[in-house]
Structure 1
């Protein structure tokens, strides 16, 4: 078969598939790193630092990633970012056989930091790239939400793979698979995808191509969406960083326990993503009701974690936390993409990452300090209570506001 004759639909499916496999490998590596850090160093702060290293670079580089994507082209930035992810993941895999003790921990954190930097560029470029491989403008909403579902399936499959590999073969296997998985999307974009490059709109150099200009041109509704997402993530998006500690409190300290716990979170994420996908057009038109609703689900689940001592109830609350946070992050990304002109979508992707990954990275550090000062149960209660108040206030004030998606790609 001539690969150049792949239909646009097949190209989209292939891009989704290879991205999902890469995501599964990434979460196998994240699970392995979390277990190594918890087993070797202990304590919530190191775990929070690892997640912060992955997410906080978005505060510094997502804006740059958005500007460069709009100026230089999303395909070029996507390929460069994928190579960067491969190199960063290989660095983590090499840390296991070559180093030990604090040197190993430091190298793992550096690997995570570099993956956070490269990931910010990759996610920003991929959002805009998706608009170049669809056939009709109406397909963009569904395709972007499909990425959310595939991403969360990877979150479901990856952690148990990572947990079992750590238990049976050692962490180097999990980190090695993480690195190798990036070869698939790289090969797909380089050799198999043929985007409509003429459709892309690029920004000019100078002030008109800046992040601040995109913020101003996005309109008050999208600025409000970004602000609400950032606030809700700052309060309640700490579970990726503290997942090993949460899993240990509920199930135990075996790496397979961590795999089970993160899989429950991922199953909830898939459910949240599917709900968003099936209602994407309607949810986009009610941005504050959508984002506030997902934030409210997360906050209520955190309060449930604080009140529960039963394993099954705690896992059910973890499922809801996964659903709420996945819906929150995916809806922010979706709404800011379909509600913005094509020329600023790269920068809107960068602003979205700043909102949810930057807020999440800071949330992990704040939650870790709360755990050290009090305990995990109190942390759930405090963050859940504040999250409920914030979500209800925004829904009450702006829940009826509507947004009509931009029709052009």
Structure 2
């Protein structure tokens, strides 16, 4: 079974929606697109509605413990690199780049694996892989033999696991809660991640201060056990499974064609690229601001990470309260607001003011990311969701190998503030370029096979005048 741009014979039927049979899906920036239009009326009685599903409740509980460990390692790894490299901003940027580089090459195949195989078993493999890599790096650091090169190597190894794990995680949420509760579940999944973000940096700061970076990294390796236990405990009979995709040639290309044929998805993925490449470098930028700009210690680094997490948690909880799919306009505006707040944080003259701005950074980042994630998941078809989410994660994480070294170089040459100000400006420029490119393709009809607007629609705030619809092939 394959997909070109439209859907063909999906075996697990989604609720009827124009997106499954209307091939004139367009970029309606003033509201929901035609694709998945009925899914915008997702019902949810409360912020925590999807926790009524036992499988999802078990999954989130295990993920929360594991995510605390992940944040502990993120903080500890960057601090370890700063210690080993003598405070080099470039070294931290390279580490971040290497950790996310595998996403460029492996995420599309990770999405294919998620569509083809049992997602639960796939997650068990990826989680075990990352646990082992964390334990080995932690032991090297505790033994006092770790070098910067070791951190680089294990950043790549860890990134390989993440590249396969991320799209499988994204697609697995819908199997636990179904389409009806998916919007709420995405928000709560982000909330769990950000509760961990509240706890993790503070825990990391304490462990680093008392025992050292190596023990903090070991803590993450052990934390994966909780998530693995949760996966084992899930009731397989209650999962809303999509029939596995049979083997066939060109399935990754079909996923790419599906996205390329949807103007709205191109914009959403372009926004994810801009935010992920130039905005989501918190560990690097916070470490540089704390150590090189404000000359503070690891405990303060952990505290500021926790402060940022307060805003992120609030953003995730607000997203979980949504009862409808966010519009594409909201996705774009939220990303632009995040870029502006990034610039403001870079201009904060003191550590106190910087700390006061960080919750706004976390809030705006989570609103933008969760909106983009919800939009993409709710507007694609079930059997291609794994591959589309893999492309989304490729855009979100795959640009980091470009952005992190670039921002690290800015910090090296012009000071840590330049990494935040420059990152915010670059986000705005990239989002603007994506909008101009996609909108011009649809308006001028230069590209066949890309979705256009219905004849009576307009490009909202980004363009004027009616445009012709370019149907999917």
TM-score by length of 2: 0.76
RMSD: 2.4
Q: Secondary structure at the match of 1:201?
A: coil
State yes or no: 1:191 paired with 2:233: yes
Give the structure 2 partner of residue 37 of structure 1: 81
Q: Is the 8 A contact 1:222 1:336 kept in 2?
A: yes
Post-superposition shift, 1:11? 2.3
Instruction: Sort the Cα spacing of 1:312 and 1:75 in 2 relative to 1 into closer, same or farther, 3 A.
Output: same
* Count of aligned positions: 388
- Are 1:57 and 2:99 counterparts? no
Structure 1 pair 8–207 and aligned structure 2 pair: CA distance change class (3 A): farther
Q: 1:395: Cα distance to partner?
A: 7.8
Map of 1:3-402 to 2, 5 A cutoff?
Answer: 9-41=53-85, 42-100=87-145, 103-134=146-177, 136-194=178-236, 196=238, 199-207=241-249, 209-210=251-252, 212-218=253-259, 219-249=262-292, 251-279=294-322, 281-283=324-326, 286-287=327-328, 289-391=329-431
- Structure 1: segments with no counterpart, 5+ residues: 1-6, 402-409
Q: Summarize the Cα distance change of 1:382–1:34 in structure 2 as closer, same or farther, 3 Å threshold.
A: closer
Inter-CA distance 379–75: structure 2 relative to 1 (3 Å threshold): closer
Greater per-residue helix proportion:
1
Listed as ranges, the gaps of 5+ residues in structure 2 are: 1-50, 440-458, 463-473
Is the contact between residue 235 and residue 363 of structure 1 (CA under 8 Å) also seen in structure 2? Answer: yes
Displacement of 1:367 in angstroms is: 0.5
CA separation in 1, counterparts of 2:460 and 2:310? 28
Partner-residue secondary structure (3-state), 1:132: helix
The structure-2 alpha-carbon separation of the partners of 1:369 and 1:195, relative to structure 1 and needing over 3 Å to count, comes to farther
In structure 2, relative to structure 1, the CA distance for the partners of 1:98 and 1:228 (3 Å cut) is same
The worse-fitting range, judged by mean Cα deviation, of 45-54 and 178-187 is 45-54
Distance in 2 separating the partners of 1:71 and 1:259: 40
Instruction: Identify if the C-alpha distance between structure 1 residues 195 and 123 changes in structure 2 by more than 3 Å, giving closer, same or farther.
Output: farther
CA distance in 2, matches of 1:274, 1:399: 28
Range with greater deviation from structure 2 (14-23 or 117-126): 117-126
User: How big is the shift at 1:353?
Assistant: 1.1
- C-alpha displacement of 1:198: 6.6
Deviations 1:32-54, CA, capped at 9 Å, x for gaps: 12212112212111111222222
Does the 8 A contact of 1:297 with 1:321 survive in 2? no
1:162 deviates by: 0.8
Whichever of the two has the greater Rg, that structure is 2
Secondary structure of the structure 2 residue equivalent to 1:381:
helix
Conserved in 1, the CA contact under 8 Å of 2:129 and 2:161? yes
TM-score, normalising length: structure 1: 0.87
Q: CA deviation at 1:196?
A: 4.3
Cα deviations across residues 357-409 of structure 1 (Å, max 9, x unaligned)? 112342111101122232223343333234345557878975569xxxxxxxx
Residue-by-residue CA offset, 1:209-265 (whole Å, 9 max, x unaligned): 22x211222422112211222134333333333321122256533110110121122
What secondary structure sits across from 1:138 in the alignment? coil
Q: Deviations over 1:26-83 (max 9, x none)?
A: 1112211221211221211111122222222111111110111111231221111111
User: Equivalents in 2 of 1:92, 1:156: separation in Å?
Assistant: 24
